């Protein structure tokens, strides 16, 4: 991350910056933090806001020239609504910073009078200040080079943590946005290896031969049609005082054509995002290593490229998942659950206190919940409720969903222990969760996060969410690790 965010206790109106960001409440009225800017303008800031039609609606952005009244040449006024929550502050800061793309230096005079509000503003600003330009040779999208946040000095520790988490989210966004021509399973495993070395994580990488020899039939089967062979990556963070293990499992399909059961051409281009779950797990491990919570965290990246070819997996093939359970593959486009099954079974060897898997698993999730909500399923009602609450707390909207027992019968197979798709199409997101539940180790509390909607934003940017890869679930996983460390989950 190139953003340099620092705290300042100086009056933002006096800072030598290019722009100052202030908050606007309905009326319009000025939010806390804007008083100094208003004073520098002779108390006429509200009048200026009225003139440009500002209403204080959340996310609304207006730019005003200062005409030399401040060292800054521009004021960016962003709406906060009636009673700004932490998420409102995050989104407002993100929207304001995006509006300043290309600015060298900006000050944030948003409400940040305590550590919590300062953390929200910092997070939104850091996540909003994102652009992916790795493969552009012409004009580049730009970000703000330096941000100064007016906040109390005792917020510095929290903001440092926010920066570490934002860097992890940026890693995930970059990976999701990287084209499959530059992110094969081996490439993703190499990135994980680099992150592990830089962060002090343990790492184990199984190549295609080790996967076959080890009995990982799900990952090996999905990957057998591609010239880019599959990988299973295990990352581990250990704390010397920890007595609990949390395991995260991420789906890492670096590109998903659907295999022999090929997808329609329309929309296939964004299947580069089908590794978003593995990306979130990798990002979470990087952040956990920086934050050092008192819990052991293990992450699995189940990585393959799903391609049709003469060696590809065929509908009606039977594969053996790690641990011995057999699966009849009726649809090769239901491949994510196969690679996840291997890693979920393997997680038993880590004696997890909590097991959470994350995947861009089903198109049905978008049908049910739209493009911004994560579906959360679990084998424990309390776990599901706490995960939804944790996700909401960090600003990743989620919704608890059931795992109806009656859906299991649809997976019955005449030739194997289970089929990979049910006999009926209805409730596809829930059915996928029911399938995964079959592979969860006995007695382990488990949750499944379907991030098919929020992992990739095909629409316009909003708040601190960019177009393209979003880094969805990364912050939720970090929060869950900390909740376990604190004894709350």
H or E element in which residue 168 lies: helix 156-177
Taking the C-alpha atoms of residue 280 and residue 192, their distance in angstroms, rounded to an integer, is 12
CB 284 within 8 A of CB 171: no
CB 164 within 8 A of CB 290: yes
Q: Which residues contact 179 (CB under 8 A, 6 or more apart)?
A: 135, 272
Taking the C-alpha atoms of residue 62 and residue 59, their distance in angstroms, rounded to an integer, is 10
CB atoms within 10 A of CB 417: 16
H or E element in which residue 164 lies: helix 156-177
Taking the C-alpha atoms of residue 275 and residue 255, their distance in angstroms, rounded to an integer, is 8
CB 275 within 8 A of CB 303: yes
Distance of CA 267 to the CA centre of its chain: 21
- Please give the positions annotated as active site: 263, 337
Taking the C-alpha atoms of residue 24 and residue 57, their distance in angstroms, rounded to an integer, is 8
3-state secondary structure of 250: strand
Residue 465 exposed, middle or buried by CB count within 10 Å (0-12, 13-18, 19+)? buried
Which candidate, 164, 242, 120, places its Cα nearest to that of 474? 164
Q: Which residues contact 460 (CB under 8 A, 6 or more apart)?
A: 467
Which candidate, 469, 452, 458, places its Cα nearest to that of 168? 469
Q: Which residues contact 487 (CB under 8 A, 6 or more apart)?
A: none
């Amino acid at each position: 991350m190139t953003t340099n965010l620092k705290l300042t206790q100086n009056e933002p109106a006096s800072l030598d910056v290019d722009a100052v960001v202030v908050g606007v409440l309905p009326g319009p009225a000025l939010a806390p933090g804007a008083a100094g800017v208003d004073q520098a303008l002779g108390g006429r800031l509200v009048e200026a806001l009225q003139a440009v039609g500002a209403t204080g609606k959340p996310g609304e952005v207006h730019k005003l020239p200062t005409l030399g009244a401040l060292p800054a040449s521009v004021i960016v006024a962003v709406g906060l609504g009636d009673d700004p929550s932490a998420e409102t502050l995050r989104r407002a800061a993100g929207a304001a910073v995006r509006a300043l793309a290309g600015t060298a230096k900006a000050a944030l005079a948003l409400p940040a009078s305590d550590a919590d509000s300062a953390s929200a503003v910092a997070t939104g600003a850091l996540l909003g200040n994102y652009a992916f330009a790795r493969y552009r040779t012409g004009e580049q999208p730009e970000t703000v080079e330096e941000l100064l946040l007016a906040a109390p000095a005792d917020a510095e520790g929290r903001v440092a943590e926010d920066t570490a988490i934002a860097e992890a989210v940026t890693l995930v966004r970059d990976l999701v946005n990287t084209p499959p021509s530059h992110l094969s399973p081996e490439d993703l495993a190499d990135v994980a290896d680099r992150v592990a070395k830089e962060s002090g994580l343990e790492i184990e990488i199984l190549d295609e031969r080790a996967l076959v020899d080890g009995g990982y039939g799900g990952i090996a089967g999905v990957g057998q049609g591609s010239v880019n062979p599959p990988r299973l990556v295990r990352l581990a963070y250990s704390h010397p005082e920890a007595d609990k293990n949390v395991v995260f499992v991420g789906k890492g399909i670096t590109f998903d054509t659907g295999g022999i059961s090929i997808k329609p051409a329309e929309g296939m281009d964004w299947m580069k995002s089908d590794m978003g779950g593995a990306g979130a797990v990798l990002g979470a491990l990087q952040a956990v290593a920086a934050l050092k919570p008192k819990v052991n965290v293990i992450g699995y990246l189940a990585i393959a490229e799903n391609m049709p070819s003469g060696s590809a997996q065929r509908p009606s093939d039977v594969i053996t998942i790690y641990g011995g359970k057999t699966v009849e593959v009726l649809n090769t486009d239901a491949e994510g659950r196969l690679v996840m099954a291997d890693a979920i079974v393997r997680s038993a060897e880590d004696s997890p206190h909590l097991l959470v898997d994350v995947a861009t698993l089903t198109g049905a999730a978008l049908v049910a919940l739209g493009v911004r909500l994560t579906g959360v399923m679990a084998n424990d009602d309390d776990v599901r409720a706490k995960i939804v609450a944790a996700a909401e707390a960090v600003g990743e909207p989620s919704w608890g969903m059931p795992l109806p027992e009656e859906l299991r019968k649809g997976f019955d197979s005449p030739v194997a222990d289970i089929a990979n798709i049910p006999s009926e199409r209805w409730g596809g997101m829930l059915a996928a969760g029911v399938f995964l539940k079959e592979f969860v180790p006995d007695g382990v509390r488990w949750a499944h996060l379907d991030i098919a909607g929020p992992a990739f934003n095909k629409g316009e940017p909003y708040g601190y969410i960019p177009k393209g890869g979003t880094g969805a679930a990364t912050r939720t996983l970090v929060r869950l690790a900390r909740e376990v460390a604190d004894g709350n989950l």
